[in-house]
Structure 1
Amino acid sequence: MVTTLNKADLDLCYMSATDVLAKFRARSLSPVEYLDNLIARTEEVEPRINAFTATHFDKAMVQAKSAEARYAKGTGDLRPLEGLPVAIKDEVDLTGEIVTQGSLYYKDEVATETHFAAQRLFDAGAFYHAQTTTPEFCCAGVTDSRIHGTTRTPWGLDYTCGGSSGGSGASLAAGSTPLATGSDIGGSIRIPAACCGVVGYKPPYGRNPDNTAFAYDMYAVVGPMGRTVEDVALMQNIMCGPHPLDNASIRPKYELPLTHKGLKGLKIAWSMDLNFFEIDDHVRTNTLRTLDILKDLGAELVEVDLSWTARAERAVEVYLDHLFGGYMASVVETDPSLASPWAAYCVKANQNTSSTEFYDAYEAQMEMGRAFGIVLEDCYAFICPTLGHHEIPADQNPADRLAINGKAVNPMYGWTLCHPFNMLGRCPVLSVPSGIGGNGLPTSVQIVARHLDDARVFRVGQALQQANPLLTTINNRPKL
């Protein structure tokens, strides 16, 4: 068993992955020392946040020692992520590991293949030290399952860390990992990034390879999560690119620049509510403050009316209920007694969809895409909140009433502004913190750019981060 420190060095635990790697290369920090601190931090926070389904510290320490030896040789053959631990979502295949997808149905399911994008991280010198929690089948915006229990945001333990990549977001915010993987079919990277005050990237569909059937669903992507925009860009550059076994992956490989020019003179569109979402005062205040920062940075802001309606919410609901819900139904029907409330909710919803409604979702996507395309033909990027409301109970149940500004909203989709951009699958979307609300919970904005123009969202995100740092500042870390 790995021996850990008595107490973690929080400055090390919250250091950016980019800075950690620089210290490794300068030999002022060892991969073993760094991993020891992450293990100590995990032991401190896990009983309260429950971000990990499994830890692999012994395996990780072997790899940390190997990386330490590579750095000591100083031979110049070091890989980009040499010696860096990465937390892997418990949906992502890892050869020889149990991958439960948050479900009792898969409690003994051992992966026989490593996910293509994850393998690229490992080939670049990273290794996994933990797997992160997700709701059953990754089907909800909260991370609560019968097999692994409830995961909480480190910013307020009564509230959700988001979902479905909830454990990834929570562990980043708690300082128990420098990087984490996520996946996103209706907001599952951006929702936890917003709930946990970290950075999450939904790449354009096909940018990152997938080894599952969902590689062929334009809503679904795998992507990186981190505490800084630079870390997420670093991770994305390694995960992305065509793969010979994924026919949906895009050629050629797209390299993000790691530094960008400022925003002076750029026209940036924005909307507070996409025309049909409720936005609470905490989110509204911090979104307006973010817009002021953009103005101060020299951007020209243009409020736009996309003419979107609640039809978009119904369209994505039908689409996901029809396909994703159908997949869940095929599993749940083998033994309904094992299903979580969220999985049962999705299976029931699947029974209420039709092929006609499913086609109508495509019609809605077309109309939304045209309206958005007009805006982004004229503007460099688009900004809106990631979530309209953050006070979502950690153990939220689909039967529980959810209200924003006193108005009842859909418990699955009504509090997140993410899914419209899954409908526009080729658009890159970066979620970055916008501040801390008066309720003590972080808030976030989404930066969206025209299809396949990833660098634009990182340029805006980097500028916002430099002007408004969150987890990089000691006073702004969650008080766990």
Structure 2
Amino acid sequence: MTDLPYLPATEALRMFRSRELSPVELMTALVERAEAVEPQVNALSERMFEEALLQAKQAERAYRDGSPRPLEGIPVAAKDEQPIAGRVASDGSLAHAGEVAEVTHPVVERIVAAGGIVHARTTTPEFCCAAFTHSKLWGVTRNPWNLGYSPGGSSGGAGAALASGTTVLATGSDIGGSIRLPAANTGTVGYKPPYGRVPAMPPFNLDHYCHDGPMARTVADCALLQNVIAGPHPHDVVSLRPAVTIPDRLGDVTGMRVAYAPNLGDWEIEPEIAANTLAVAEALRDAGAVVEEVEVGLRRADVMRAAFIHFGAIFGPMVGRIAAEHGDLLTPYALDFAAYARTTYERGGGFLAGLELEAAIYRPIGDLLDRHDALICPTTGAPGLRAGEDYVDTRLTVNGVELDHYMEYSLTTVFNIASRCPVLNVPSGFASDGVPTGVQIVGRGYDDEAVFRVGAAVERVRPWTHRPESL
């Protein structure tokens, strides 16, 4: 039979309906796969396999009775940051190791209501404040393509679970690249919806940098999950009405105007990343798009300053408050994040100065997207980060240049600043170390469909491998 742990959700649903496959068979295959690979990868913070198998039997009955829901019987791994009532809500920290959630995140509620089976939760860095995934609580999560590397962060467990075949779909969240970075590093698809498209929880639903979104191995699967979780929610004042649905038929980019940015400005870009991004641009041209190379002209120092002023106003103080009480339990990178954000905020002139800088950063992006239907650019400047490294005392070198802060290797935070732009990461190829690379597809504000059209076209003309051969 088909390699079940890597079966797309869309295909699984078809096979469930035709009775070629049982939800129990699929769930059993994932459980067996997890038992085989999890000791190496460590992507799952919590396993709920016994309950999941019981729910899979219930899903079988739903198909037999002719009443399946949109995700009936599909295994979905939920990012541990997204709480589930009655389960531990640690936020990846020893400081919260005994806390239990009283509410369930809207994204998880909608997945369960649609028949999805949350069979596992996925690892994150502490407080989701890093672009890699390891913590004192859960240990080191590794990239299935090369175990010496991190799968990225903060939705690193989600990306690693998808790449290692222990889930079919996964949820993520993104405050600076936390969906797109793991997707790029694990050869998967990750979507940062425009702000307000997917409901979130207070107080961070009010932070325009924050986005919850879907992760998958195919563009169609990512769209499937996005359609389930999107739409207004009574507890989230910024959630948008009406819900927007990504259409089933995607991939025709004939005549679409696509801006190709090899760089967003002065980021350091490794030659392998540059070559893979160019290959995606050329493939889109072959698919019928009108592709124009452009210069964006941003400065990564401005983006870093704007982002950390923002973090210093909202996210950083949350981590700092916990650090003041439980500092000895926290990771070095969490303590460093809180201190770096606080210092940048104080020296940067405060929140108003940050907003003024954000407006200047968005201006050239807005001009480009006024002339083009979408923009493509690298997701990162280098293939990946070393597993287990905090990057506090160690500086990251990209393209022979030592960076002031390791997050300067990422080109994602620009689009948390431009938070109304939908952004889809799709694989662009591999680096010589075996780690996948990714490209960001950026749309005009709230034009979700355009980025999925482009992503589906890339997948059609440059299909990617889902399963690491060495795992």
Q: When the two structures are superposed, what TM-score results if normalisation uses the length of structure 2?
A: 0.97
Q: Which residue of 2 aligns with 1:408?
A: 402
Q: Which moved more, 1:98-107 or 1:350-359?
A: 350-359
| Structure 1 residues not aligned, in runs of 5+ | 1-8
Match of 1:205 among 181, 189, 195: 195
Q: Distance in 1 between matches of 2:126 and 2:449?
A: 33
1:374 aligns with 2:356: no
Q: Distance in 2 between matches of 1:72 and 1:261?
A: 33
Change (3 A) 1:448 1:112: same
Residues 191, 386 of structure 1: 8 Å contact kept: yes
Q: Which residue of 2 aligns with 1:5?
A: none
Q: Distance in 1 between matches of 2:317 and 2:226?
A: 31
SS state at 2:185 partner: helix
Q: Which moved more, 1:242-251 or 1:343-352?
A: 343-352
Q: Which amino acid aligns with 1:308?
A: L
- Please report how far the alpha carbon of residue 437 of structure 1 lies from its aligned counterpart in structure 2 after TM superposition: 2.0
1:176 aligns with 2:169: no
Match of 1:116 among 96, 106, 113: 106
Q: Which residue of 1 aligns with 2:449?
A: 455
Q: Which residue of 2 aligns with 1:6?
A: none
- Please report how far the alpha carbon of residue 318 of structure 1 lies from its aligned counterpart in structure 2 after TM superposition: 2.1
- Please report how far the alpha carbon of residue 412 of structure 1 lies from its aligned counterpart in structure 2 after TM superposition: 3.7
Q: Which residue of 2 aligns with 1:230?
A: 220
The aligned runs of 1:126-137 (5 Å cut-off) are 126-137=116-127
- Please report how far the alpha carbon of residue 478 of structure 1 lies from its aligned counterpart in structure 2 after TM superposition: 4.3
The aligned runs of 1:313-392 (5 Å cut-off) are 313-352=304-343, 353-354=345-346, 356-392=349-385
Q: When the two structures are superposed, what TM-score results if normalisation uses the length of structure 1?
A: 0.95
Change (3 A) 1:239 1:391: closer
Q: Which residue of 2 aligns with 1:439?
A: 433
Deviations 1:289-327 (A, max 9, x none): 111111111212222222211312221122113321111
1:311 aligns with 2:305: no
Deviations 1:205-247 (A, max 9, x none): 0000012310000000100000000000010011000011111
Q: Which residue of 2 aligns with 1:3?
A: none
SS state at 1:181 partner: strand
Q: Which amino acid aligns with 2:268?
A: E
Residues 47, 121 of structure 2: 8 Å contact kept: yes
- Please report how far the alpha carbon of residue 438 of structure 1 lies from its aligned counterpart in structure 2 after TM superposition: 2.4
Residues 14, 471 of structure 1: 8 Å contact kept: no
SS state at 2:428 partner: strand
- Please report how far the alpha carbon of residue 10 of structure 1 lies from its aligned counterpart in structure 2 after TM superposition: 7.2
Runs (4 or more) in structure 1 with deviation over 4 Å come to: none
| Structure 2 residues not aligned, in runs of 5+ | none
Q: Distance in 1 between matches of 2:429 and 2:342?
A: 41
Q: Which residue of 2 aligns with 1:38?
A: 30
Q: Which moved more, 1:86-95 or 1:261-270?
A: 261-270
Q: Which residue of 2 aligns with 1:52?
A: 44
Deviations 1:70-92 (A, max 9, x none): 2122x3x2101011111011100
Q: Which amino acid aligns with 1:346?
A: F
Q: Distance in 2 between matches of 1:224 and 1:287?
A: 23
Q: Which amino acid aligns with 1:29?
A: L
Residues 10, 175 of structure 1: 8 Å contact kept: no
Q: Distance in 1 between matches of 2:364 and 2:9?
A: 38
Root-mean-square deviation (CA), in Å? 1.3
Q: Distance in 1 between matches of 2:219 and 2:417?
A: 24
Residues 470, 477 of structure 1: 8 Å contact kept: no
Q: Which residue of 1 aligns with 2:468?
A: 477
Residues 139, 343 of structure 1: 8 Å contact kept: yes
Match of 2:156 among 161, 166, 190: 166
Residues 201, 430 of structure 1: 8 Å contact kept: yes
- Please report how far the alpha carbon of residue 359 of structure 1 lies from its aligned counterpart in structure 2 after TM superposition: 2.0
Q: Distance in 2 between matches of 1:411 and 1:182?
A: 24
Residues 172, 179 of structure 1: 8 Å contact kept: yes
Change (3 A) 1:139 1:271: same
Q: Which amino acid aligns with 2:337?
A: C
Match of 2:135 among 137, 145, 150: 145
